[in-house]
């Protein structure tokens, strides 16, 4: 599963349009950048299952210099078992996590996300990996925005399994018992690397 070339081109066109809208003062150029953004939305709608109005709204609400979005994932072990939560959207399992909010540090974001999605209290310890979601080797399906994924090792402090508005189930799984995954959020390749970090704590942080 890899991002098609047209998706990478749309992301680049959208980013150029967004950057232009952020910095230009020329009213004619503003119109040109808005038109370019509209074209990017039309291409996205044409070649994906997303309606034009939704894509156009997403692109229009992006402001400032375009940069990749940040998705943090908590890597929480209990013994040799890894914490996963079940997503309501697709029924697949994933490491608890989500978007890093503005004004929020990565450690605070992952601790918040783990608590909200699983019911467990954790303490962020170490950045294990920073993945470019669009890299083919990570095994994610295409996504509208260019995204970096932070995998942060967390120490289990307390709490108990709990559901949330996004998840319905939280449990610890052995490496050979991993349930079907929500591959929009985490891939088996990434899960296997997290277990490798668990077995070899001296491994350095991975990136790209």
> How far apart, in Å, are the Cα atoms of 135 and each of 33, 89, 112, 149, 152?
28, 24, 27, 11, 19
38 and 78, same domain (yes or no): no
Rg (CA), the chain: 19
74 and 56, same domain (yes or no): no
142 and 54, same domain (yes or no): no
pLDDT value at position 2? 57
149 and 195, same domain (yes or no): yes
142 and 200, same domain (yes or no): yes
How many folded domains does the chain comprise?
2
150 and 193, same domain (yes or no): yes
pLDDT value at position 4? 83
Taking every pair of Cα atoms in the chain, the longest distance, rounded to a whole number of angstroms, is 61
56 and 115, same domain (yes or no): no
CB atoms within 10 A of CB 119: 18
pLDDT value at position 197? 98
25 and 45, same domain (yes or no): yes
State which residues form the domain around 139: 69-207
Of the CA atoms within 13 Å of residue 73, those in its CB half-sphere come to 27
The torsion angles phi and psi of 150, rounded to 5 degrees, stand at: -100, 125
For residue 71 the two structure tokens come to 């998705």
pLDDT value at position 72? 98
54 and 74, same domain (yes or no): no
35 and 137, same domain (yes or no): no
pLDDT by residue, tens only, the chain of 208 residues: 456 889 889 999 999 999 999 999 999 999 999 999 999 999 989 998 889 998 888 888 888 888 999 999 999 999 999 999 999 999 999 999 999 998 999 999 999 999 999 999 999 999 999 999 999 999 999 888 899 999 999 999 999 999 999 999 999 999 999 999 999 999 999 999 999 999 999 999 999 9
**Complete DSSP assignment for 86-129:** EETTTS-EE-SEEEPPTT--HHHHHHHHHHHHHSEEEEEEEEEE
SS3 label, residue 67: coil
Instruction: Show Cβ contacts of residue 37 under 8 Å, excluding neighbours closer than 6 positions.
Output: 14, 17, 18, 21, 59, 60
SS3 label, residue 33: helix
- Domain end, chosen from 60, 77, 100, is at 60
The torsion angles phi and psi of 2, rounded to 5 degrees, stand at: -135, 155
33 and 119, same domain (yes or no): no
116 and 151, same domain (yes or no): yes
Check which CATH number belongs to the domain holding 125 and give it: 3.90.79.10
pLDDT value at position 3? 66
């Amino acid at each position: 599963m890899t991002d098609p070339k047209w998706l990478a081109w749309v992301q680049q066109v959208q980013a150029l349009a967004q950057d232009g809208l952020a910095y230009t003062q020329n009213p004619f150029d503003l119109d040109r950048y808005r038109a370019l953004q509209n074209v990017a939305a039309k291409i996205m709608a044409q070649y994906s299952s997303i309606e034009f109005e939704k894509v156009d709204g997403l692109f229009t609400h992006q402001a400032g210099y375009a940069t990749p979005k940040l998705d943090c994932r908590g890597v929480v072990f209990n013994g040799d078992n890894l914490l996963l939560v079940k997503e309501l959207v697709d029924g697949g399992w994933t490491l608890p996590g989500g978007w890093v909010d503005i004004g929020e540090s990565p450690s605070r974001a992952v601790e918040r996300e783990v608590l909200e999605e699983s019911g467990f209290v954790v303490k962020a310890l170490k950045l294990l990996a920073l993945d470019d979601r669009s890299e083919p080797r990570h095994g994610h399906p295409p996504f509208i925005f260019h995204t970096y994924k932070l995998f942060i090792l967390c120490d289990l402090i307390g709490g108990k399994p709990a559901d949330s508005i996004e998840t319905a189930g939280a449990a610890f799984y052995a490496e050979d018992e991993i349930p079907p995954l929500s591959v929009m959020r985490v891939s088996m390749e990434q899960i296997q690397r997290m277990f490798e970090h668990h077995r070899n704590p001296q491994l350095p942080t991975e990136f790209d």
